Chains A and B, each alone.
Chain A
Amino acid sequence: MELKSSARVTLYIGLIVLAAVWLFPVLWIVISSFKTNNDLYSFPPRFIPSPITFEHFGDAFEKGNFGRYFLNSMVVTISSTILLLLINSMAGFALAKYRFKGDTILLVGFISTLMIPLEVIMIPIFKVLSFLGMFNSLWALIIPPAATPTGVFMLRQYLLTVPNELLEAARMDGASEWRIYSRIILPICKPILSVLSIFSFMWRWDDFLWPLIGISDPKLYTVQLALSNFIGEYNVDWGSLLAMSVITMIPVLVVFLIFQRQFVSGMVTSGMK
């Protein structure tokens, strides 16, 4: 489709203005985090920080204990993602490549757990976590969210396209089912597993509700929990808070930048239809 040049110019102007509006909030947070306290609260606001200071970042780590929260979040995000990839691909494999009693019921059951939002069962979940002795341990944030209906379903759909002959050939060579899974299925699933690991990284890193339910000990706070706790304080220390937010955005930004091409275009061209 061709556009008239006047239409094209209007389109660009519209997009640029809108993009500027969309970029601004994050930029403003980043810029503000480099301001001195004096600058931070000056009115009218100064756009360019002068002088630039890293003091809030230092404070966040020294006084705010942010390193610890960052480490907690990393441990949770990485281990939960690995666990998710492992168990979701196992379940997806079984549901795609075996016929067994109850397989349809299991698939429907898995998917229908999407119908039950965490938000409506958070109180009994708290009880279950306490009962299992998982309350106030990072396990509570690693294990339960690792089983995702979305992941199982994505992997199953993907594996349905893999020819059964491939597995039969391996079986004839005497490979065990576990070996077939680990040596054939997992490598085949690489593309879908990488998409899923981005999702999982984002879900776990950004998560608020699981940490809120599962953790009350400040030593085990994740970054999101720490941030929300700082917001709730009577005297908000905006400097540290802004610095922490900026640091918290970095891992997701890195993941986004690495995968953004596959990510946005992949979502447009596949899957979402």
Chain B
Amino acid sequence: MSTQASAVKRVKKRRPDQSMGWTPYLFVLPNLLIFSVFIVIPTIIGFVYSFHQYDGLNPMEFVGFDNYKEIFKDSEFWGALGKTARYAVIAVPSIYCVSLAVAMMLIQPLRAKGLFRSIFYWPTMISYIIVGLTWKWIFGDFGIMNYVLSLFGSEPIQFMSNPFFANLSVIIATVWSRLGFYMVIFMAGLQAIPIDYYEAARLDGASKIRVFRSITLPLLKPTTVLVVMLALIDAFKAYPLLFALTGGGPGKETTFIVQYIYETGFAKQELGMASAMSVVLFVLICLFTALQNKLSKGGED
């Protein structure tokens, strides 16, 4: 009885949010341990590696900023980065336009809306490896695409060995696989726009295009910023899809930055150099994210 009473007293004195000694730390511990071991420590190690020459077997040799200096002279690195940027510059607006268009269609009152949503969403559930493989099969030598082209009297195209068409295939596969994800984000954004605005515009007799430009687009700015940044970061990390679709070829035509870093680190065993490249890529991603924060603050007014 007395212990119970004192327990009650103790509980009553305690603020609901009061410290529990070690308990909360124990609850956080497993996550913290994994994050530290597999994210924080590797990040630090990677940074240290980037100042060393290291092949993974022989002892590391400190080289200061030599890796970074070499990266600045490495035309293949900048080539890969440039190709990644070109891919991003085409893929991001394509994804933006197609997903927004589909989202706008699907927020209308329609029958079978759920079915359409599912059809567009389904490819986002498929792994990049299978997405790449699917389009490789379609664009391949026995692929259906060349058959369709031949119906229009066109010569067969070697999609995978022509740089232009290889890049085009990559873009098509990317848009196909990402549409559903961004469509969902756009639908949420579009549904958040108060319907009164549209009704007022309709009473004023504004045209559809006018409504889209003067109401939808400006009010969709926060969503736009989110979509563009997510798609941009996605583009800069693209690798598995390319691996399965083009293998980085023809030549190095679709070898993007992550694949180049992977090859430098694992195939060429230049861990120091590859780590320095990772640092450069990380800085780029940080810049994008910082830019996003800046832009989304602008989106609030």
Contact = CB atoms under 8 A, between A and B. Distances in A.
Contacts of A241: 133
Interface stretch (A56-64, A97-105, A188-196): A97-105
A99 B244 contact: no
Contact of A164 (B16, B126, B176): B16
Contacts of B105: 11, 14-15
Count class of interface residues, chain A: 35 or more
Interface in B1-48: 4, 7-8, 11, 16-20, 23-25, 27-28, 30-32, 34-35, 37-43, 45-46
A124 B45 contact: yes
A128 B142 contact: no
Nearest to B190: A268
A267 to B, nearest CB: 5
A135 interface: no
A258 interface: no
Interface residues of B, number: 97
B116 A15 contact: yes
Contacts of B243: 208, 228, 231
Nearest to B44: A124
Interface string A99-133: 11101001001100101110111111111100010
B35 A109 contact: yes
Contacts of B49: 123-124
Interface stretch (B65-73, B88-96, B212-220, B282-290): B282-290
Interface of A: 1-3, 8, 11-12, 14-15, 18-19, 22-23, 25-26, 28-29, 32, 40-45, 86-88, 90-91, 93-95, 97-101, 103, 106, 109-110, 113, 115-117, 119-128, 132, 143-144, 146-147, 152, 164-165, 167-168, 171-172, 174, 177, 181, 202, 205-209, 224, 227-228, 231-232, 238, 241-242, 245, 248-249, 252-253, 255-256, 260-261, 263-265, 267-269, 272-273
Given A43-B142, A119-B239, 14 more contacts: A3-B108, A12-B110, A29-B134, A44-B147, A91-B32, A113-B40, A119-B237, A119-B261, A124-B42, A124-B45, A127-B42, A208-B127, A249-B126, A269-B188
